[in-house]
Amino acid sequence: MEKGRELLIFERSSPGRTGVRPPTADVPEVDLDKVLPKGAVRGDIEGFPEVSELDCVRHFTRLSNENFGVDTGFYPLGSCTMKYNPKVCEDASRLSGFSRLHPYEPEGLCQGALELMHELEGYLAEISGMDAVTLQPAAGAQGELGGMLMIAAYFRDKGEARRKVLIPDTAHGTNPASCRLAGFDVVEVRSSRDGILTPEAIERLMDDGCAALMLTNPNTLGLFEDNIEKIASIVHSKGGFVYCDGANLNALMGVARLGDMGVDLVQFNLHKTFSTPHGGGGPGSGPLGVKKALEPYLPVPRIRKNGDEYSLEFDRERSIGRLKAFYGNFSVMVRAYAYIRLMGAEGLKRVGEMAVLNANYLKERLKGHFHLPHDRTCMHECVFTDRLQRRYGVTTLDIAKRLMDYGFHPPTIYFPLVVDGALMIEPTETESLQTLDEFIEAMKRIAKEAEEDPHLLKNAPHTTGTARVDETRAAREPVLRWTGSPPTNPDHCT
Ligand SMILES: *Cc1c(COP(=O)(O)O)cnc(C)c1O
């Protein structure tokens, strides 16, 4: 094997080599040229790689070894909750009674699946303090969109023209996007110097043209919105709803309920908090919970329980309709169900406590080595900046790249946008004290390197398969198509 760069599968191709032998046909052979229109049958697929099974297995196994995942090492990506997901939950989702179900299975033959979904809705309602939950949305962002569509339908029914939604300046980008998609105008709310919302800021902006306040608690700075009850009562007094982005529920789960704080709608990211691995593009699941007033607007179908029988209800006059084909991503629901049953109420509470403890431990131990813009107790994540390192010419990006040399996945960088040069660290509850200490040691060494040898950081990483890439050039001149001949400069194969 060529050292340093895995060949493309096309470069391994050798004419006539093959990795599959199709079974002998057990039906009469037909000449395709006779049954298909002229020119519809290809004699060859140009450039199609011809490799053996072993070539193929080795190629993709080597590529997979270049990946970094939570099963490989510490992955403190803020706002993402990259925690370890128990393998037993994977196992449950693969049980053939679940995994081989067809979405058109008659209700009578999938009572177990409906029961599981119905119970999961109940657990999520209990955890969040909501009255009803739909499991349909396929992602957090789709849950947000569903919630905003329901709010729009509610006010349409009431004949009220409320066009605005208030969103804090720390919000995740999906929040304003979901609101715009549902037809609302976004009004930005400035956070205070302490990094949280003040009742005064909401009082100033909230009027009867506002349909909702969409906030995140804990917010994306990892801080608890201390004024949430006061803020919710201001929004309610002007007839609006409070939507909470519950993508990261790790800090509150089992400890405090958003519904008790005045929140009317919340989406859960099962692929963050409830045991589905993510980061690879899906599938996800973003169930949406609502209070009573909005229940009639939930998407169809709803799962109904009648005695011991479960059924699907489609005929609901005020529903916003379907959000997703069938019922949502079922295998993710099975993992979440298994996880909640595995942890139990006490276990979920302990998750919240440990997630918060771990983040505060990191914050306290790194304080002084890195600039901490909001020096107060944090929730499940903490945000540092590169201010102390910048005087040596070292930036957040350099720190993140250098961490890879120490075997850690970098934290979230340059988010939230309101913090200049942000390094947003979310350790999660699943990491041991030993791992946290190793990470702290690496971060301290990087702080020292910034002082003594900034050049080392500017060129990091040094030990990974791919060195620092030119991100601007990759974005401006993307090479997305295989051109048929081996590239002369391997750096072009992005
Ligand atoms: C991840 C995340 C989202 C979006 O969730 P998706 O499932 O990726 O659509 C929204 N808000 C916050 C705070 C998040 O962390």
Q: Is the pLDDT of residue 291 over 50?
A: yes
CA distances from 165 to 41, 235, 241, 370, 373 (A): 55, 11, 9, 36, 28
* Ligand 1 center–CA 140 separation, angstroms: 5
Mean pLDDT of 267-295: 91
* CATH topology assigned to domain 87-343: Aspartate Aminotransferase; domain 2 (3.40.640)
Half-sphere exposure of 338 (CA within 13 A, CB side): 21
Q: Is the pLDDT of residue 281 over 80?
A: no
Radius of gyration of the chain (CA): 26
CB 329 near ligand 1, within 6 Å: no
Quick one: pLDDT band at residue 48, thresholds 50, 70, 90?
confident
d(CA 445, CA 460): 14
SS3 sequence of 184-227: CEEEEECCCCCCCCCHHHHHHHCCCCEEEEEECCCCCCCCCCCC
Q: Which residue has the tokens 């209990």?
A: 126
- pLDDT for residue 4: 61
* Ligand 1 center–CA 332 separation, angstroms: 16
d(CA 26, CA 136): 42
Q: 188 — phi, psi (to 5°)?
A: -80, 135
CB 412 near ligand 1, within 6 Å: no
pLDDT tens track for 135-188: 999 999 999 999 999 999 999 999 999 999 999 999 999 999 999 999 999 999
Report which ligand 1 atom has the smallest distance to the Cα of 284.
7
Angle between helices 330-366 and 433-452 (to 10 degrees): 50
Element (H or E) spanning 413, and its range? Answer: strand 412-413
d(CA 228, CA 256): 13
pLDDT tens track for 312-353: 999 999 999 999 999 999 999 999 999 999 999 999 999 999
Mean pLDDT of 73-101: 94
Q: Is the pLDDT of residue 493 over 60?
A: no
Supply the DSSP symbol for 260.
G
d(CA 171, CA 190): 11
Give the mutation target among 80, 148, 170, 174 for probing the ligand 1 site: most ligand atoms within 8 A of CB.
Answer: 174
- pLDDT for residue 471: 86
Q: Which residues contact 274 (CB under 8 A, 6 or more apart)?
A: 268, 335, 336, 339, 340
Residue nearest to atom 2 of ligand 1 (CA): 247
Quick one: pLDDT band at residue 42, thresholds 50, 70, 90?
confident
Report which ligand 1 atom has the smallest distance to the Cα of 143.
9
Q: How do beta strands 241-246 and 265-268 pair?
A: parallel
Q: Which residue has the higher pLDDT, 203 or 80?
A: 203
Homologous superfamily (CATH) of 346-473 is Aspartate Aminotransferase, domain 1 (3.90.1150.10)
Q: Is the pLDDT of residue 273 over 70?
A: yes
d(CA 161, CA 154): 11
- Find, among 243, 232, 9, 35, the residue nearest to 130 by Cα: 243
d(CA 220, CA 172): 7
Maximum Cα–Cα distance for the chain, whole Å?
79
CB 284 near ligand 1, within 6 Å: yes
pLDDT tens track for 401-451: 999 999 999 999 999 999 999 999 999 999 999 999 999 999 999 999 999
Average pLDDT, the chain: 93
pLDDT tens track for 352-395: 999 999 999 999 999 999 999 999 999 999 999 999 999 999 99
Domain residue spans in the chain? 87-343, 346-473
d(CA 167, CA 172): 10
d(CA 257, CA 266): 11
Supply the DSSP symbol for 383.
E
d(CA 179, CA 185): 7
Cis upstream peptide for 283 (omega within 30°)? yes
Q: Is the pLDDT of residue 481 over 80?
A: no
CB 168 near ligand 1, within 6 Å: no
In this predicted structure, which of 103-107, 216-220, 433-437, 467-471 has the lowest mean pLDDT?
467-471
Helices (H), 269-395: 270-273, 330-366, 387-390
- Determine the length of the chain: 494
